[in-house]
Structure 1
Amino acid sequence: MARDWLLEEMVREALGDRPGLTEKAMFGGLCWLLDGHMLCAASQKGMMVRLGKGEDGWALAHPEIVTVTMGERAMPGWVRISSDASRDDHGLRRKLVAGAIAFVGTLPPK
């Protein structure tokens, strides 16, 4: 699967420079971790974001955002937005990244 270099740069910009943030190639794209916990990813499929179980309702209310599924298994607390929608909506991309940082920031470092 080809990577979405443009979306990766947009996510990188939304994340900014913060302590504990690392990048790792995964899932056919690029994944960001905060203190060792997966935070979000960008690939040809779009942007995947970890908001936490029960904290994703506001995001799922958006018509372009769905719960992440791996195979047939739903991953509560993880959402995906299409590549086009995540590129087009700067404000939503930043809000999703902020939500991920807020949730993952509550987890103890690995």
Structure 2
Amino acid sequence: MAYDHELADRVRDLLSGADGMSEKRMFGGLGFLVHGNMALAAASGGGLLVRVEPDDGERLLGGDVQPMVMRGREMRGWLRVGPAAVRTPEQLGEWVERGVSYARALPAKA
């Protein structure tokens, strides 16, 4: 299943004009990067993949927020945020800010 283009547009609107932002198609989704570091993605299958401080991941779980699993392995520092958790502008804004803030704290990639 392809990523949710409407959700990607909503993310794009939130990030318009932000310094160092770029987009990249990957894994059937659309990634949003900050200075080359992945911050979040409109995920194939719907919802978002959000990069978070690895030590904060567990406390953010619950409801429509689950660990990201790739090839049967949980990816520490990444969360799968389901569509119900990004329905409102406020919900989406919180998750976008969380992912972008973490990616901005990382060293820029060339």
Place the TM-score, normalised by the shorter chain, in its bin.
Answer: 0.7 to 0.9
TM-score with structure 2 setting the length: 0.87
Identity of aligned residues (%): 32
Q: Are 1:105 and 2:108 counterparts?
A: no
The question of whether the paired residues in 1 share the 8 Å contact of 2:22 and 2:32 is answered with yes
Displacement of 1:3 in angstroms is 2.9
Write the letter of the residue equivalent to 2:56. E
Q: Secondary structure at the match of 2:54?
A: coil
Pairs aligned (count): 108
Unaligned runs of 5+ in 1: none
Equivalent position of 2:46 in the other structure: 45
Equivalent position of 1:19 in the other structure: 19
Q: Are 1:66 and 2:66 counterparts?
A: yes
TM-score with structure 1 setting the length: 0.87
Distance 1:96 1:59 in 2: 11
The question of whether the paired residues in 1 share the 8 Å contact of 2:64 and 2:83 is answered with no
Displacement of 1:55 in angstroms is 2.1
Equivalent position of 1:33 in the other structure: 33
Displacement of 1:90 in angstroms is 2.3
Equivalent position of 1:4 in the other structure: 4
Unaligned runs of 5+ in 2: none
